[in-house]
Amino acid sequence: MIAVLKPSATPEQIEKLISWLEGRGLKVHLSKGDFYTILGLIGDTKQIDPELIEGLEMVDSVKRISEPYKSANRKFHPHDSVIEAGGLRIGGKNFQIIAGPCSVESKDQILTIAKSVQASGASILRGGAFKPRTSPYDFQGMRSDGIELLLETRRLTGMPIVTEIMNTNHISLFEDVDIIQVGARNMQNFELLKELGMTKKPVLLKRGLANTLLELLMSAEYIMAGGNPNVILCERGIRTFEANTRSTLDLSAVPMLKEMSHLPVVVDPSHASGMARLVKPMALAAVAAGAHGLMIEVHNDPPNALCDGAQSLTPEQFAELADKVRKVREAVAQ
Ligand code: PEP
Ligand code: MN
């Protein structure tokens, strides 16, 4: 971290600041120019709040040199992380398609969809049991019964399952789930992230609606700092001024996150666009951008889905998408 001091900073003020910083275990390198004095702070600067220093009258600006995320940082882990979940691998050269309905609605619904998406190339089944709905009057999910149906569907199809957790109190219900999803609305639910950090469960961490990539990585850091390295990042669109799509899919997040971090990056074009007809082009673009996987909402009867019907593909549309994904993967691998 570097602190640039104003020309008006007095030697007494500088000395006081240096001894305060040294008191926090940092080494301070002082460099005096004609106008500005620069302090180079060496050591564990994580515990220093740059805004606290920047707020001092004598300080012109403060800049972090090293990123505040360590475990998720590509610099300290140059190779891609490969996460194992339900006997599958995701990350590095391993690509997986997660598909399924927004919500588990019945035994017949989840099993029918699972079989169809599996037949066309999906390797992991999704399905919400606890649903984060904007309106309390909307379908809230089948809750623990939904998890039971997912587990039963896994027994019948062999597909690993991913489903969303919203509350630390529910963690025991997720014991047999292969991948626990933290949805966009809970990306900064730090208590939930800490609890998940104490497990070894793979966590699919979705980017918040109004969160930066750095904030996403800091949330991954919460899970990893607790001892759980199994984090999969998911770009699912962010809220911008654009109103024609549900969210704006930030595809530059894919190569950027891969530069910043070694964690796998999955893209969810369904929640990003909110419209079934946009899912295929954006999924293909995500694959071309280097995503390690896709998450696609599929429903056997989209007009009557209890949640997110408008963005759900039919099994036939999904089969077509999966086929095109294979072709794009081949093309970009060359
Ligand atoms: C979901 O995947 O079901 C979901 C609610 O997604 P998001 O958190 O990205 O909105
Ligand atoms: Mn949904």
pLDDT digit string (tens) for the chain, length 334 residues: 999 999 999 999 999 999 999 999 998 988 888 888 999 898 888 888 999 999 999 999 999 888 889 999 999 899 999 999 999 999 999 999 999 999 999 999 999 999 999 999 999 999 999 999 999 999 999 999 999 999 999 999 999 999 999 999 999 999 999 999 999 999 999 999 999 999 999 999 999 999 999 999 999 999 999 999 999 999 999 999 999 999 999 999 999 999 999 999 999 999 999 999 999 999 999 999 999 999 999 999 999 999 999 999 999 999 999 999 999 999 998 7
For residue 59, which of 1, 16, 8 has the smallest C-alpha distance?
8
> DSSP of 141-197, one letter per residue?
--HHHHHHHHHHHHHHH---EEEEE--GGGGGGGTT-SEEEE-GGGTT-HHHHHHHH
What's the token pair of residue 250? 């930030």
Ligand 1 atom nearest to 236, measured from its CA: 9
Distance from the CA of 145 to the center of ligand 1, in angstroms?
Answer: 19
Ligand 1 centre from 202 Cα, in Å? 17
Residue 250 contacts residue 235 (beta carbons within 8 Å)? yes
Using alpha carbons, select from 284, 297, 313, 269 the residue that is nearest to residue 128. 297
Å from CA of 309 to ligand 2 middle = 8
User: Which residue bears the tokens 């008191």?
Assistant: 23
- Report the residue among 271, 279, 295, 307 best suited for mutation to probe ligand 1: largest number of ligand atoms under 8 A from its CB: 271
Q: How many residues does the chain have?
A: 334
Assess contact for 299 and 305: CB atoms under 8 A.
yes
Report how far residue 92's alpha carbon sits from residue 324's, in angstroms, rounded to the nearest whole number.
21
